[in-house]
Chains A and B, each alone.
Chain A
Amino acid sequence: SAVISQKPSRDICQRGTSLTIQCQVDSQVTMMFWYRQQPGQSLTLIATANQGSEATYESGFVIDKFPISRPNLTFSTLTVSNMSPEDSSIYLCSARQGGNQPQHFGDGTRLSIL
Chain B
Amino acid sequence: GENVEQHPSTLSVQEGDSAVIKCTYSDSASNYFPWYKQELGKRPQLIIDIRSNVGEKKDQRIAVTLNKTAKHFSLHITETQPEDSAVYFCAAASGGGGNKLTFGTGTQLKVEL
Contact = CB atoms under 8 A, between A and B. Distances in A.
B89 A102 contact: no
Interface in A22-57: 31, 33, 41-45, 48
B97 interface: yes
A45 B106 contact: no
B89 A43 contact: yes
Interface string B73-105: 000000000000000010000001111111111
Contacts of A41: 105-106
Given A42-B89, A48-B100, A96-B98, A102 B106 contact: no
Interface in A58-114: 59, 92, 96, 98-108
Contacts of B42: 107
A interface bracket (residues with beta carbon within 8 Å of B) = 20 to 34
* Chain B interface, DSSP helix/strand/loop, else mixed: loop
Interface residues of B, number: 22
Contact of A96 (B1, B44, B97, B105): B97
B103 A44 contact: yes
Contacts of A107: 42-43
A42 B46 contact: no
B46 A102 contact: yes
Nearest to B105: A42
Nearest to A48: B100
Contacts of B104: 42
Interface in B30-76: 34, 36, 42-46, 49, 51
Contacts of A106: 43
Contacts of B51: 100
A31 B99 contact: yes
17 contacts: A31-B99, A41-B105, A41-B106, A42-B104, A42-B105, A42-B106, A43-B101, A44-B103, A92-B43, A96-B99, A100-B51, A103-B98, A103-B101, A104-B46, A105-B36, A105-B43, A105-B45
Given A42-B104, A105-B44, A107-B42, 6 more contacts: A48-B99, A99-B96, A102-B98, A103-B97, A105-B36, A105-B43
